[in-house]
Amino acid sequence: MKLIVNGTKTNLSDSLTINELLVEKSVKMPDMVSVEINGKILRRTEFETTTLKENDKVEFLYFMGGGLWG
Amino acid sequence: MKADTLAIHGGFADDRETGSTAVPIHQTVSYAYRTAQELADVFDGKAPGYIYTRIANPTTTALEARLTELEDGIGCIATSSGMAAIASVVMGLVRAGDEIITATGIFGGTVSLFQNTLTRFDVKTILVDAADTEQFAGAVSKKTKLIFIETIGNPRMDVPDISAIAEIAHRANIPLIVDNTVTTPFLIKPGEFGADIIIHSTSKFINGHGTAIGGAIIDTGNYDWAAGPFEDIKKLAQKVGQLAFLAHLRNLIYRDLGGCPAPMNSFLMLQGLETLSGRMNKHCENAKKLAQFLENYPKIEWVNYPGLAGSEFHNRVLKLFKGSGGGLLTFGLGNRQKAFRFIDSVKLAKNMANLGDAKTLVIHPSSTIFHEFSTPEQNKMGVTEEMVRVSVGIEDFEDIRSDFEQAIEKAFKAQK
């Protein structure tokens, strides 16, 4: 399955939930990351229930530093 | 998870290294990195990480995450006070020559910020009657950049039609800012009624014990920053989408103004949130009983509590707050002398400038929190000489009732 993660084309063998993608991509500080799918910020409660679809655009955004965005 | 559970578990799932279930207090100014490159990457935005507690702190991040979940928002910035939250939001949106619309009956500190401080920067504020939705529509001009309301005006106790005012704001392509301090997410999530930004003074019901000053800004995700009239935020939206406004604050306005909370205070707010649901129920229950008691007390001229069946706002209370009228009320004792004598005579209730404490608090607004305003200005804001404001605590109701009864009797005896 093709995705765009932080602007880079990525291939995944399976369809994953957001929580699974955070592990798959070894996302740093996963408790702190905000996840945007196709321009919409997900609620944290949706990380477990949202499954990625073909061609989704995923952005990992951090909300903790000064000038720290993706 | 439901709100009662989120208030206890939201934003923090045990400390991974120590197993601590209470959020650790990260009492630090800054954060060390092993190599120059690592810190450079954090500054460049290539790697996540904390830099400086004025910008972000792990204890405060946990508070922000919990408030985001409770308000069902997309993100939060915690601040050093409710006023710091309002100042950051407003200064992040307006420029010289712009206008703000707000309601007359709101917190005096907010009115002072708008009318005194912001006027110095050529920002004009138009005050309208919160109860009269049409006045908001009539006040909108091309210069208007935001509408600001409170869920229940303090101390006027008027309840605006939030959905209708949100529609007016959105027709003008501007955000609606709603101060949810006196109702908390347990009575209303203003985002469900169209609010774009939610403000809290966390010093009040969220803290609940009068132990720390704090505030919070929550973006509900309702407003499309990519399509608004704010050019700098619009540019940021190209990069970070819906989080553009919070990024604008975090990386510029909030960072530069310096209104960050102390980590210890963020911890105290997290503790407060854990019991907020139960406390709000008791505040509302006691306030309704006290309002009914005062309403039927022959010496009391009037009681203003939106939760009373006879209140002009009763339908809005049902629609917005599921029937709960909140923990604040005002009542009239006939004149200033009787109001003073009442306050001097209460034994259980404390005379102080705060609200939302577990303890019952009373104050004479005209001579204290509104003293800087003239009598005609006070009257417009719903403040009169005879008025006492009560923040009804969570003590046993019979103790509150008997304290008020003996103090009212003393207030009237002293007049003879």
The rounded distance, in Å, linking the Cα atoms of B299 and B396 is: 23
**What b/e string do you get for B165-182 counting C-beta neighbours within 10 Å, with b at 16 or more?**
bbbbbbebebbbbbbbbb
> How many domains, in total, are found in chain B?
2
Q: Give CA–CA dist A22/A17, Å, rounded.
A: 9
Question: What is the pLDDT at residue A32?
Answer: 77
Q: Quick one: B227 and B288 in the same domain?
A: no
Answer whether residue B205 is part of any domain.
Answer: yes
Could you say which of A43, A45, A63 has the minimum Cβ distance to residue B250?
A63
pLDDT for res B42? 82
A42 CA: distance to closest CA in chain B (Å): 7
In the structure encoding, which two tokens stand for residue B38, read together?
């690592």
Mean pLDDT on B227-233: 96
Spatial distance between the Cα atoms of B395 and B354, rounded to a whole number of angstroms: 17
Written as one letter, the residue type at A43 is R
Would you say residue B408 lies in a domain? yes
Tell whether omega for the bond before B298 is within 30 degrees of 0, i.e. cis. no
| Chain B interface with A: residues with Cβ < 8 Å | 1, 12-13, 42-45, 47-52, 55-56, 61, 64-65, 68-69, 72, 74-75, 221, 239-243, 246-247, 250-251, 255
Do B17 and B112 lie in a common domain?
A: yes
CATH of residue B357? 3.90.1150.10
Residue B250 belongs to what domain range? Answer: 3-264
* B164 plus B312 within the same structural domain: no
Looking at residue A63, its pLDDT comes to 67
Measured between alpha carbons, how far is A50 from A42 in angstroms, rounded to an integer? 9
What's the CA gap between A46 and A68, in Å, rounded? 23
Beta-bridge partners for B147: B101, B176
Residue B238: its pLDDT value, please?
85
Mean pLDDT value of segment B336-361: 97
**B273 occurs within a structural domain:** no
Nearest Cα residue in chain B from A43 = B74
- Which domains does chain A show, CATH number per domain? 2-62 (3.10.20.30)
Tens digit of pLDDT for each residue in B6-32?
A: 999 888 877 778 889 899 999 999 999
Is the pLDDT at A17 greater than 50? The verdict is yes
CA angle B121/B124/B130 to nearest 5° reads 140
Quote the tokens at residue B86: 């309002």
Q: What is the pLDDT of residues A31-65, one digit of tens each?
A: 778 899 998 989 888 999 999 999 999 988 876 65
Instruction: Output the average pLDDT for chain B.
Output: 95
Structure tokens at B170: 């959105």
The C-alpha atoms of residue B148 and residue B104 are separated, in whole angstroms, by 11
Q: Which residues of B touch A45 (CB under 8 A)?
A: 1, 69
With vertex at residue B413, the alpha carbon angle to CA B412 and CA B415, rounded to the nearest 5 degrees, is 70
Name the domain boundary from B231, B264, B297.
B264
Q: Are B180 and B190 in contact (CB under 8 A)?
A: yes
Same domain, B146 and B286: no
Q: Are residues B200 and B309 in the same domain?
A: no
**pLDDT tens by residue, B274-308:** 999 999 999 999 999 999 999 999 999 999 999 99
The reply to whether B40 falls in a domain is: yes
Residue B140 lies in a domain: yes
State whether B242 and A39 contact (CB < 8 Å). Answer: yes
**Cα(B386)–Cα(B378) distance, integer angstroms:** 12
Q: Of B232, B264, B296, which closes a domain?
A: B264
Backbone angles phi, psi at A4, to 5 degrees: -115, 115
- Whether residue B270 lies inside any domain: the answer is no
CA B179-B240-A58 angle, to 5 degrees, is: 120
Domain shared by B399 and B352, yes or no: yes
Per-residue pLDDT at A31: 77
Q: CA of B289 to nearest chain A CA: how many angstroms apart?
A: 37
pLDDT reading at B122 higher than 70: yes
Q: Which of B213, B231, B264 is the last residue of a domain?
A: B264
Cα radius of gyration rounded to whole Å, chain A: 11
Higher-pLDDT residue of B314, B415: B314
Can you give the pLDDT at residue B81?
98
Q: How confident is the model at residue B34 (pLDDT cuts 50, 70, 90)?
A: very high
What pLDDT, on the 0 to 100 scale, is given for residue B324? Answer: 96
Asked if this assembly's ipTM is beyond 0.85, the reply is no
Q: Which residues of B291-318 are buried (b: 16+ CB within 10 A; e: fewer)?
A: bebbbeeeebeebbbbbbeebebbebbe
Angle at B132 between CA B130 and CA B134, to 5 degrees: 120
Which pLDDT belongs to residue B170?
98
Among B13, B52, B246, the residue with its CB nearest the CB of A63 is B246
Average pLDDT estimate for B33-45 = 86
Q: Give the integer Cα–Cα distance in Å for A2 and A49.
A: 20
Whether residue B328 is found in the same domain as residue B388: yes
Q: Alpha-carbon distance B1 to A3, whole Å?
A: 29
For the four alpha carbons of B282, B288, B290 and B293, in that order, the dihedral sign comes to negative
The model's pLDDT over B144-176, given as tens digits with 9 standing for 90+, comes to: 999 999 999 999 999 999 999 999 999 999 999
Residue B37: CATH number of its domain: 3.40.640.10
Do B313 and B371 reside in the same domain of the chain? yes
Alpha-carbon gap, residue B384 to B250, rounded angstroms: 40
Query: Which pLDDT does position A69 carry in this prediction?
Result: 41
The verdict on B230 and B375 lying in the same domain is no
Is residue B374 domain-shared with residue B407, that is, in the same domain?
yes
**Same domain assignment for residues B258 and B357:** no
Test B65 with A44 for CB contact under 8 angstroms. Answer: yes
pLDDT for the residue A70: 33
Report how far residue B236's alpha carbon sits from residue B18's, in angstroms, rounded to the nearest whole number.
Answer: 38
For residue B271, tell me if it sits in a domain: no
Q: Are residues B90 and B56 in the same domain?
A: yes
Whether B218 has a pLDDT exceeding 90, the answer reads: yes
Convert the pLDDT of each residue in B127-149 to its tens digit. Answer: 999 999 999 999 999 999 999 99
Does residue B298 lie in a domain region? yes
Residue A31 corresponds to which tokens in the numbers above? Answer: 């408790």
Q: Where are the beta strands (DSSP E) in B96-154?
A: 99-103, 124-128, 144-150
Assess whether pLDDT exceeds 50 at residue A67: no
With cut-offs at 50, 70 and 90, classify the pLDDT of residue B414.
low
Q: Round to whole Å and give the CA distance between B114 and B128.
A: 13
DSSP strand E in B194-293: where?
A: 197-201, 215-219
Q: Of the candidates B13, B49, B243, which has its C-beta nearest A61's C-beta?
A: B243
pLDDT per residue as tens digits for the range B71-116: 999 999 999 999 999 999 999 999 999 999 999 999 999 999 999 9
